[in-house]
Structure 1
Amino acid sequence: MIIRPAVPADVPAIAAIIMPTIREGSTYSCDPGMSEDEALAMWFAPDKQVFAAQEEEKGEILGTYYLRANQGGGGGHVCNCGYMTRADAAGRGIARQMCEHSIHRARASGYRAMQFNFVVSTNERAVRLWTSLGFEIVGGLPEAFRLPSGEYVDAFVMYRKLV
């Protein structure tokens, strides 16, 4: 797996990764009805560094993530990331590799910690993965997320020091 900064030629492959996740509506707090242009503008916002996880042999992009400051000013030493993997590549360790890459990249950029602001509690694979990579649940937001079924579930704030 090669994880590298995304380039303009990656946009169609990244759109094909993020749109199904956004449309499905059970893990990201995005409007499932947002347009592809809106989704790409959100993913590639100017405050984000965007990366592509590319399979070495076939050259296919199997995942993407962004890295950005979680807050400005006095909170600018803590970063935030978002990760998405192509649906047919789930379970192959791509999200783990992207998170490990993002931790190294964040350290190299001078961040002292990483925070995930809104991890949906029913996204058990993500919670398990982030915990295995040293993140702790430092807060819970009761019934903060509405699943497509209409059920309200908790969201977690997860945090890891990088120094």
Structure 2
Amino acid sequence: MRIREATEADWPTIWPIVEAVVRAGDTYTWPRDLTEVDGRALWNLPSCVVLVAVDEAGAVLGTARFGPNQLGPGAHVANASFMVAPAARGRGVGRALGEAVIRGAARAGYHAMQFNAVVEANRSAVHLWKTLGFEIIGTAPEAFDHPTEGLVGLHIMYRRL
């Protein structure tokens, strides 16, 4: 697997991943009926670096993005988002993207990284982020309406870079 910056030509292979993750409704706070146009605008924010994880044949397995968590005096803290294709889960794609984002954000001069809304019920992601040095610094109780677990918390996770 190789991690590289995404290009415009990657969007047709990124969109099915974004669509599958958002439609599942169990990890992102985005509308489940998100359109491709809106998804592209949300994922490809001008302030973000977008990455893709590709296999040996060049197929996109997952995508991540990082950029400033806030504007102005808060712009020294990065934020990041991750999506892995359903068929590629459990193969280390999330970890590889996480490690690449941490390295990229540190190289870009960010001092820390903060995740604003990690769904408490997304136990594999919470575990992964903890193994990559993030800690839960707060939880908004019942802030996410999970499709099978009902109202669950949204963690804020943080790590210095």
TM-score above 0.5, yes or no: yes
Equivalent positions of 1:101-120 (< 5 A) are 101-120=100-119
Which structure 2 segments of 5+ residues have no match? Answer: none
Aligned equivalents of 2:88, 2:124: Cα separation in 1: 14
Equivalent positions of 1:13-162 (< 5 A) are 13-55=13-55, 57-149=56-148, 151-162=150-161
Q: 1:122: how far off? A: 0.2
Structure 1 unpaired stretches of 5+: none
Please name the residue that 1:2 is paired with: 2
Q: Whole-Å Cα distance in 2 between the matches of residues 151 and 111 of structure 1?
A: 35
Shift in Å, 1:150 = 7.6
Letter in 1 for 2:16: A
User: Could you tell me the TM-score, scaled by structure 2's length?
Assistant: 0.97
The whole-number CA distance in structure 1 between the counterparts of 2:111 and 2:30 is 27
**Identity between Structure 1 and Structure 2 (%):** 43
How far does the alpha carbon of each residue in 1:15-66 deviate from its partner, in whole angstroms, 9 at most, with x for none? Answer: 01110100111100000011111111110121211111111x2111101001
Q: State the distance in 1 between where 2:99 and 2:36 align.
A: 28
Identify which range, 150-159 or 18-27, moves more after superposition. Answer: 150-159
Distance 1:34 1:16 in 2: 12
- For residues 106-152 of structure 1, the C-alpha deviation after alignment (integer angstroms, 9 at most, x for no partner) is 01000000000000000000000000110000001010001124811
Amino acid at match of 2:54: Q
Moved more, 101-110 or 140-149: 140-149
Structure 1-normalised TM-score? Answer: 0.96
Count of residue pairs the alignment pairs up: 161
| C-alpha RMSD of matched pairs (Å) | 1.0
